[in-house]
Structure 1
Amino acid sequence: MGLYLNSIAPYNQYKMITEEPYFVDKSAMLEELIPALGREQRFFCITRPRRFGKTIIANMIGAYFGRAKDSHDIFDKLEIAGAKQYSKHLNQYDVIYIDFSEIPSGCGHYKNYISRIENGIYQDLRASYPELELDSDQAVWDILSLIFEKTEQKFLFVIDEWDALFYMPFIQEEDKVSYLLFLRSLLKGKSYVEFAYMTGILPIAKYSDGSELNMFLEYDMATKIRFGEYFGFSESEVDELFERYTENTEKPRIGRNELAEWYDGYHTAMGECLYNPRSVVSALSNNQLAGYWTGSGTYDSVFYYIKNNIEDVRDDLGLMVSGEHVEARMQEYAATAEELVTKDQIYSAMVVYGLLTYEDGEVFIPNKELMMKYEEMLMNRESLGYVHRLARISSNMLKATLARDTKTMTEILQYAHDTETPILSYNHETELSAVVNLVYLAARDKYRVEREDKAGKGFVDFIFYPKRKGQDGIILELKVDQTPEEAIRQIKDKGYGMRFQGKIGELPEYTGRVLAVGIGYSRETKEHACKVEWLE
């Protein structure tokens, strides 16, 4: 056993995860990988946003295939144990496990960084094959080739965070070239490679010139179907976790619907919804909803990605914060660009990093955890222009609505219209909805705001569910080229107020009072009109 060759670390790390109360068994993935052993197509690269379970799967692969430690105690209890070839491949391989996010103490340049790995692998090989008198002056790949020639021994490679190097401040452009050549020399065309599994955030094809690492089959979340179910949590998996939570938590404070609202919404290439795994586990473990994923890591600032093209992006932001989808063409390799300029580049990078999700040619904000980051940006970044200004006046709009001050409400909406923004063309109620969402942005601190919610006999534009006692619920209906009175009439005739009856048990000391808000806009006169009254 060594630092890289047959390290016991993957076993220990994975065993620890399996003993956690909210562990989800993804071991069925091993059954998909087994047929690739020793085959031509034995190189896999899985790219996902950070904290989406990549390292857990890498440790699982190392623990299952590696001979460092008998791992029957782990896998005999997991789904893979039912596979026909389970025992045949368990702990049968020499695994070289490399975590490229680890760096030497005081490392200031690429040579120190890569030398640690090369020297570490050499020391492990020398300890395992003392009879071969290996030469430290030889390249690692030459030493591995020599071992294979002498012993016919092959190695299984697990590489975690292959792209960590590209985020390190001391790395220069020429270092990136050297690094790719290192990976190519280590893995490509080598008979000693039994199998290679690599994880990261960034796609390798952008960095490869078409030949260096083209032996890898790449699988991202947005466009590749295979392996989609193994990263992130499905609805059924979260159902099971929530059941454990309610059984084992003395005073549960999280509802099942709240988990979906906060952490669901990512999409696989198959169109299936996925939950953010880190956030779900953290929320259930802490018995509290919070921004666990968005509050960690280097790339938690939405503004970082849009700063080079605010003018083109801000209209779309207004729509996306309103819950709308925006057309985009995925350019997954754009995530590695030094400067993100075009909208497609920006949105593609944000999908790769998990800040947006992608489905059927459109991007959108997946859940409340991320929506809060966008709201924060809209409230604080003056460079976003009219979107920022509308967000800033949103607290006044809520106060006016609760006071049934239709004059102030109309003035705020007219102010929004006078900004002459593209999304205020009002050719469709979608644009009006986007503006209303912006001028009510501050309401989300006190209400859970849902759009197009099934209510009574139809769908209502907005429902504001109060978070605290003493607050009144709000139902808001929008109409273009119709009066606010007609909007109020629709709320009453279709029984939208009944939606609150099903929520009484979920709302804290709900008072039962509901405000009906009608907003109309005339394309002919370019004027807004508002009406607010209590529902009986």
Structure 2
Amino acid sequence: MGSYLNPGNLSFRGSLRSKIYVDKSELIAKTNEALCTEQKYICVSRPRRFGKSMAANMLAAYYDRSESTEELFQNLTISKERSYKENLNQYDVIKINMQEFLSMSETMEEMLEMLKNYLVLDFKETFHEVQFRDEKNLIQVMKDVFRYTRCPFVILIDEWDCLFREYKQNKDAQKKYLDFLRAWLKDKDYVALAYMTGILPIKKYGSHSALNMFTEYSMTDPGDLAGYFGFTEQEVSVLCETYGMNFEEAKTWYDGYHLIAHRQNGDEHYSIYSPKSVVEAMLRHKFGTYWNQTETYEALKIYIQMDMDGLENSVIRMLAGDAVQINIGTFSNDMTTFATKDDVLTLLIHLGYLTYNSIDGTVAIPNKEVSQEYVNAISTMNWHGVIDSVESSRKLLESLWAMDADAVAEGIDKAHDEISILQYNNENSLSCTINLAFYFAREYYTMIRELPTGKGFADICLIPRKLHLDKPAVVIELKWDKSASGALEQIREKQYGDVLRDYQGNVLLVGINYNKTTKKHECIIETIQK
């Protein structure tokens, strides 16, 4: 056993001993299928704290032939797979965390030299009977070992993209690093599996990837690995039941990453939750912001305040609950090359600050936890109107509960004035302003836009979550340059109350109109009992 060659299974044992362990061992069945095939190059990119390192530790423990690990896997899902015994403890494993080497180096060249030297040292200690042609050449050393053992390597590289995040501007260092990886891994018989994980997809130069032998599984195209990183809805539901936590609240706080696996027998849709956040919430018995404690809101702030046409407008709309159309095709897979706002938004998908809907090509803020991170970032920027609107939303919600229609109209007027960047010419733009004005309502409600009903659509419906059923439900109909009374009449005609069949209590019916002439909002509020 070496430090990097056949490193053992202590890390994975630690995961299994943890208070919360969610079995993701089916991933091994997928990597088994790829062994020694054209598909043996796999690159998985996910946000921080999405289980990437744990998966790499699991693969190392499974494939490492230096000691038996059947006891670790015999009760996991993988043990039921046909390929389980065939590949268990059958390979020499190289496991590297690139961040570790980068942190110990001053330059990229020093990092690679250290990496090569340390690996060669492990090879010489383990295979001292092998006669090496060139002890200073890592590739030749691995060829010599493979010629001797006839056992190919499973190569696991964690944090493979750290250099692109630390050396953002150094294009020369980035290119040399990619050249090293390509020379080391591509078309090498000694590679049974090359498995890399990181946050960013593989860097593109022009229209070509420097490592085009890899199949990529990212937040924008997760393939059939969609369910193996992050927790699925079913897994979170089981944890909530085990720990006595409210699943609806967990969904509000941590859900929102919608990934699709396209399969021969039909697409499979996944609702993916941030695992770090879910685990912390369960163990602390308290919902809160945990995932984004791994790095400060300053990282988000850098990108959303970039001078890109339409970027501020898009962020405000998403903060209000909108989904925004995006083209992910021009993103260069780095943290500095931005031609349009869409490139910035695509980076935020990979960082976990946005979720991507691959069916309609839109992005949105995934959940309450991440939304709070946007509020934190914006509060330190010069977007004063937006943050003022968010901070005023608590008072506006209280006015709504008090059925103070004049105060509600006045509060929406204020929000409209503060968010002047939004064009105001139809019910949809009005809806965006209303959603941001009532931002604080998300503490208690599930906010639904254009809620389907028997006779049409409500513009906004606030449905109290189970922990807040003492609050009134709210149905809001919006009109632009018509009348608030007409909006209220439309609510009655559409029978919106029927969609709240699971709710018993007060329902506030709210008609809001924007008068184009006076540039003021009008509001009428009624209540019905269910």
Give the superposed CA RMSD. Answer: 3.3
Using the TM superposition, name which of 364-373 and 459-468 deviates more. Answer: 459-468
Distance between the aligned counterparts of 2:377 and 2:482, measured in 1?
34
CA distance in 2, matches of 1:350, 1:31: 31
Equivalence for 2:143:
145
How do 1:72-471 and structure 2 match up within 5 A? 72-103=70-101, 107-134=105-132, 138-168=136-166, 172-206=170-204, 210=208, 212-243=210-241, 245=242, 249=243, 252=244, 254-270=245-261, 271-297=269-295, 301-309=299-307, 312-331=310-329, 333-340=331-338, 342-359=340-357, 360-378=360-378, 380-384=379-383, 386-418=385-417, 421=420, 423-427=422-426, 429-444=427-442, 447-452=444-449, 460=458, 461-463=460-462, 465=464
Q: Distance in 2 between matches of 1:173 and 1:205?
A: 11
State the 1:373 CA deviation: 1.7
How many Å apart are 1:497 and its aligned residue? 6.2
- 2:518 matched to 1:521? no
Contact 2:203 2:210 in 1 (8 A): no
Q: 2-side partners of 1:211 and 1:528: how far apart?
A: 53
CA apart distance, 1:97: 0.8
Q: How big is each residue's C-alpha offset from its partner over 1:29-55, in whole Å with a ceiling of 9 and x where there is no partner? A: 222222322223311111111211111
- How many angstroms apart in 2 are the aligned matches of 1:89 and 1:216? 22
Could you give the per-residue CA deviations for residues 51-93 of structure 1, whole angstroms, max 9, x where no partner exists?
A: 1111121111111111133111111111211222221211011
Q: Mind listing any 5+ residue stretches in structure 2 that lack a counterpart?
A: 262-268
Query: How far did residue 196 of structure 1 move?
Result: 1.0
Is the contact made by 1:518 and 1:532 (CA closer than 8 Å) also made in structure 2? yes
Query: 1:402 and 1:209, CA in 2 relative to 1: closer, same or farther beyond 3 A?
Result: closer
Q: 1:139 to 1:299 in 2, by over 3 A?
A: farther
Counterpart residue identity of residue 376, structure 1: N
Measured in 1, the distance between the counterparts of 2:106 and 2:169 equals 9
2:203, 2:333 within 8 Å by CA — same for their partners in 1? no
Moved more, 20-29 or 360-369: 20-29
Which residue identity is paired with 1:478? E
1:100-138, Cα deviation, whole Å (9 max, x unpaired): 121377633334433332222111111111123547752
CA contact (8 A) 2:431 2:478 kept: no
Aligned equivalents of 1:26 and 1:474: distance in 2? 39
Deviations 1:344-375 (A, max 9, x none): 11111111111111112111111111122223
Range with bigger deviation, 59-68 or 105-114: 105-114
- For 2:404 and 2:283, the matched residues in 1 are separated by 44
State the AA in 2 paired with 1:521.
Y
- Say whether the 8 Å CA contact 2:117–2:136 is kept in structure 1: no
CA contact (8 A) 1:203 1:333 kept: no
- How many percent identity over aligned positions? 33
User: Can you give the 5+ residue segments of structure 1 that lack an aligned partner in the other structure?
Assistant: 505-511
TM-score (norm. length: structure 1): 0.86
For the residue of structure 1 that corresponds to 2:310, the secondary structure is helix
CA distance in 1, matches of 2:94, 2:2: 9
Distance 1:166 1:45 in 2: 15
- Give the C-alpha shift of residue 140 in structure 1: 1.0
Counterparts in 2 of 1:491 and 1:156: CA distance versus 1, 3 Å: same
Whether the 8 Å CA contact 2:309–2:340 is kept in 1: the answer is no
**Which shows bigger deviation, 346-355 or 202-211?**
202-211
**Within 2, Cα distance between the matches of 1:121 and 1:441?**
53
Residue 525 of structure 2 corresponds to residue 532 of structure 1: yes
C-alpha distance in 2 between matches for 1:143 and 1:209 = 34
How many Å separate the matches in 2 of 1:376 and 1:423? 21
Give the match for residue 509 of structure 1.
Answer: none
Q: Pick closer, same or farther for the CA change 1:298–1:127 going to 2, 3 Å.
A: farther
Equivalent residues of 2:389, 2:436 under 8 A apart: yes
- Which deviates further from its counterpart, 258-267 or 31-40? 31-40
Q: Using a 3 Å threshold, how does the CA distance of structure 1 residues 420 and 434 change in structure 2: closer, same or farther?
A: closer
Q: Give 2:266's aligned residue.
A: none
Rounded to whole Å, the distance in 1 between the matches of 2:120 and 2:164 is: 24
Q: What residue is the counterpart of 1:4 in the other structure?
A: 4
Equivalence for 2:265: none
The alpha-carbon distance between structure 1 residues 496 and 455, as it changes in their structure 2 partners (threshold 3 A), is farther
Shift of the 21–144 alpha-carbon distance from structure 1 to 2, 3 Å rule, reads same
**What is the CA distance between 1:405 and its match in structure 2?**
4.0
Equivalenced residues, count: 517
C-alpha deviations, 1:492-523, integer Å up to 9, x for none?
6767668788457xxxxxxx566543322244
Change beyond 3 A, Cα 1:70–1:433: same
Letter paired with 1:370: V
Give the equivalent residue in structure 2 for 1:53: 51
CA positional deviation for 1:228: 1.4
Q: What SS does structure 2 have at the residue aligned with 1:97? A: strand
Equivalent pair of 1:27/1:78 in contact (CA under 8 Å): yes
- 2:419–2:433 contact (8 Å) kept in structure 1: no
